[in-house]
Structure 1
Amino acid sequence: MNDFLLYEQDGPIVTLTMNQPDKRNALTGNTAVAEFGAACRRIEEDHSIKVVILTGTGTVFSSGGNIHEMQRQLDPAILPADLRHEYREGIQRLPLALYNLEVPVIAAVNGPAIGAGCDLACMCDIRIAADTARFAESFVKLGIIPGDGGAWLLPRTIGMSRAAELTFTGDTIDAQQALDWGLVSRVVPGSELLAAARELAQRIAANSGPALRMSKRLLREGQHTRLDTLLELSAGMQALAHRTAEHQAAVQAFVQRKPAKG
């Protein structure tokens, strides 16, 4: 039984819910990373899944790092080499699993997303925020840096200038500013958040599963590959898409409802 992450499936839609509200859904000092990894592997292997919703229980999306874990890391008996290993085998496994997940992921940000919690939202493809949500890349406030990949994720989400402002100040922004800056795509009342996420998930899930997975892969690859390389990948994936049952059914349905020109 999972201690941190609830896994619920409704047809092609999986909802992952961080469920340690008493610890503000912190991502360190617990089994969060391992459970995210297991959930992502389960999703990858189940080709009936088309979309994932990620949210949190309680009033906080995720507070990021656990302050008590940071206290433990201050122990001078723990060598820098050991801390480096902890990051590589700990929190850094999270972006590798979630960001690279093949299916689209919607973050339903139900409250504050702080530090690694903000970066967690940026690992998702789409972010919807409750009006009570807050966002902060607050590592400098604690004299540390974003060790979870935030310096790579945040600029790709909101652009370098705004990412630098958030990173260097550690300031917190509200949901409306997050919307203005493109950190989220919409803001809804908290009571409507999950309904809005599910409605969007259903619209995504109405489409071809193989096409969704390949489209997401191309979006990811397009962030760091040359155009000619992406075109080659697109040609190969398009050839595969043309042979899927979903594509063939869609073409037939379109042809049957549109009269042929004489």
Structure 2
Amino acid sequence: MSVVLRERRGSVLLVTMNRPDSLNAFTAEMHRALSDAWLEASSREVRAVVLTGNGRGFCAGADLAQPPLPESLGNSTLRHTFNAHTLAMAALEKPVIAAVNGAAAGAGLSLACAADIRLASSTAKFVPAFVDIGLVPDAGGSWFLARLLGYSRAFGWLASNRRLEAQEALQWGLVTEVLEPEELLTRALLLAEQLAAKPGRAVGLTKRLLSQASRSSLADQLEAEVEMQNLALQDPERALARAAMVERLKQR
């Protein structure tokens, strides 16, 4: 069976990391399979993505049971594996929802943070993991966590390597909902379906705007909104959605 499962549910693509015996830790094979998943996700027929893990873990990051790579080769591998996944998720003009079903550690935590929305099982745990093996956060972890949590909280957490339980992650704003394990995937898929059903390009363009907002001046962001609004207006679904809204208002 594939180490990454892909299943279409209408316009939603469900991507499941599938190495449960190792808490879905990454191997070279799994990197290749996840890259294929992002390629499928870029299809116009896919309008939302749900990413989750099989078994007790979401993703434990790199598989430490694999032989370590030479330093120079390791740096190259990071650029072409985890970094490539992070950039692929950011480039998708559609929502990516992480359904964090269990432990998210190391680069697996970074992968969850790269999603646009994170839902967590009540059994989920978030563990930075890097500093205790003498490494720094990678795969975008430092970038996302500084923005999600603020500098002081992100630094304190990453440097301490404290395990964060699901409810505390909710209090911090790291996740938006905590659900019972049997409800997690159902809720994630429902949310994905709701976002996929939004008309035109509005959801994807909103993602693009927000991703650049922290790097833009107000004037630049206002111009970006004009540009994105023009793109949204050109989509034929937008006119249909506006007409439907006008009709509903008349009926009221």
Normalised by the shorter chain, which TM-score bucket?
over 0.9
Q: For 1:105, give the aligned amino acid.
A: V
Alpha-carbon shift at residue 34 of structure 1 (Å): 2.4
Alpha-carbon shift at residue 209 of structure 1 (Å): 4.2
1:226/1:35 CA distance change after superposition, 3 Å? farther
Alpha-carbon shift at residue 200 of structure 1 (Å): 1.2
In structure 2, the residue corresponding to 1:61 is in which secondary structure?
A: strand
Equivalent residue, structure 2, for 1:32: 30
- The CA distance in 2 between the partners of 1:17 and 1:209, in whole Å, is 27
**Does the alignment pair 1:42 with 2:33?**
no
Alpha-carbon shift at residue 259 of structure 1 (Å): 2.9
**Does the alignment pair 1:51 with 2:48?**
yes
Does the 8 Å contact 1:48/1:209 carry over to 2? no
- The CA distance in 1 between the partners of 2:161 and 2:247, in whole Å, is 57
**Does the alignment pair 1:192 with 2:161?**
no
Alpha-carbon shift at residue 136 of structure 1 (Å): 1.0
Does the 8 Å contact 2:200/2:235 carry over to 1? no
Does the 8 Å contact 1:139/1:146 carry over to 2? yes
1:257/1:106 CA distance change after superposition, 3 Å? same
Does the 8 Å contact 2:119/2:188 carry over to 1? yes
**Does the alignment pair 1:244 with 2:243?**
no
**Does the alignment pair 1:23 with 2:26?**
no
Deviations 1:167-186 (CA, angstroms, capped at 9, x unpaired): 10011010011001111001
Alpha-carbon shift at residue 239 of structure 1 (Å): 1.4
In structure 2, the residue corresponding to 1:99 is in which secondary structure?
A: helix
In structure 1, the residue corresponding to 2:75 is in which secondary structure?
A: helix
Alpha-carbon shift at residue 53 of structure 1 (Å): 0.6
Structure 2: state its 5+ residue gaps: none
- The CA distance in 2 between the partners of 1:240 and 1:87, in whole Å, is 35
In structure 2, the residue corresponding to 1:207 is in which secondary structure?
A: coil
Percent identity between the two aligned chains: 37
- The CA distance in 1 between the partners of 2:23 and 2:159, in whole Å, is 24
Deviations 1:78-107 (CA, angstroms, capped at 9, x unpaired): 3x3333222222322121112332210111
1:109-120 matches, within 5 Å, as 109-120=100-111
Deviations 1:204-223 (CA, angstroms, capped at 9, x unpaired): 12202411211111111213
In structure 2, the residue corresponding to 1:33 is in which secondary structure?
A: helix
**Does the alignment pair 1:14 with 2:13?**
yes
Does the 8 Å contact 1:36/1:98 carry over to 2? no
- The CA distance in 1 between the partners of 2:60 and 2:140, in whole Å, is 16
Alpha-carbon shift at residue 257 of structure 1 (Å): 2.7
Structure 1: state its 5+ residue gaps: none
- After superposing the two structures, state which structure 1 stretch, 102-111 or 208-217, moved more: 208-217
- In our comparison, the structure showing a higher alpha carbon Rg is 1
1:243/1:85 CA distance change after superposition, 3 Å? closer
Q: Which runs of 4+ in 1 moved over 3 A?
A: none
Q: For 1:20, give the aligned amino acid.
A: R
Deviations 1:185-234 (CA, angstroms, capped at 9, x unpaired): 01010011011112211221220241121111111121322222222222
- The CA distance in 2 between the partners of 1:117 and 1:109, in whole Å, is 10
**Does the alignment pair 1:61 with 2:62?**
no
- After superposing the two structures, state which structure 1 stretch, 238-247 or 104-113, moved more: 238-247
Question: TM (normalized to structure 1)?
Answer: 0.90
- After superposing the two structures, state which structure 1 stretch, 151-160 or 222-231, moved more: 222-231
Aligned residues: 252
In structure 1, the residue corresponding to 2:91 is in which secondary structure?
A: coil
